[in-house]
Amino acid sequence: MENDYDMKVLVVDDSLVMRRIITNHLRSLGYTQILEADSGEKALSILAQEGADLILSDWCMRGMHGIEVLRSVRNNESTRNTPFIMVTAEAQPHLILEAIRAQVSDYVVKPFTRENLRESIEKVLALGQVGG
């Protein structure tokens, strides 16, 4: 999959500030179709209704954590192959390993730069990568 700036990108984070940072980075990189969810449950609802071509999700959220969103995405036939990047402050090795086992496409640790985000997205899309 090559870079397609018209692709739908779903940003999942319960922090409005963090969603704004990520969406602003995405817009500055040229992405135009950005969907937002403030919870894992809302993310799954958006995926069921509208779909997405790429998911960027926080790990630690109220209610459903990002790892649970990832597992739900991978266990659903219609979303199984959607690239999923975990964007999180959770950098402990055992959590990264858990995400890899759940077939995360990439893992970006906060704080991050626009360049970090761009590199992660490009890597995931260039490789057509689903699981780590």
Question: Tokens in use for 11?
Answer: 């940003």
pLDDT tens by residue, 83-126: 999 999 988 999 999 999 999 999 999 999 999 999 999 999 98
87 neighbors 114 (Cβ within 8 angstroms): no
Instruction: Tell whether 1 is covered by a domain.
Output: no
Instruction: Please determine, for residue 31, whether its predicted confidence score (pLDDT) is greater than 50.
Output: yes
Q: Cα–chain-centroid distance for residue 84?
A: 4
- Strand segments, DSSP code E, in the chain are 8-12, 33-37, 54-57, 84-88, 106-109
Rg (CA), the chain: 13
Q: Is 3 left (phi over 0), alpha (psi -120 to 50) or beta?
A: beta
Q: Which domain holds residue 61?
A: 8-127
Neighbours of 101 (CB within 10 A): 12
Query: Taking CA 28 as the corner, what is the angle to CA 25 and CA 33, rounded to the nearest 5 degrees?
Result: 85
pTM, whole model, 2 decimals? 0.93
Do the beta carbons of residue 57 and residue 12 sit within 8 Å? yes
Residue 132's pLDDT band (boundaries 50, 70, 90)?
very low
CATH number at residue 38: 3.40.50.2300
Residue 3: inside a domain, yes or no? no
CB 8 within 8 A of CB 52: yes
> Quick check: is 30 in a domain?
yes
Which pLDDT does position 1 carry in this prediction? 44
- Residue 78 DSSP class: T
132 assigned to some structural domain: no
Residue 2 lies inside a defined structural domain of this protein: no
- Answer yes or no: are the C-beta atoms of 10 and 55 closer than 8 Å: yes
55-94 per-position pLDDT tens digit:
999 999 999 999 999 999 999 999 999 999 999 998 899 9
Q: How many domains does the chain have?
A: 1
What pLDDT, on the 0 to 100 scale, is given for residue 4? 75
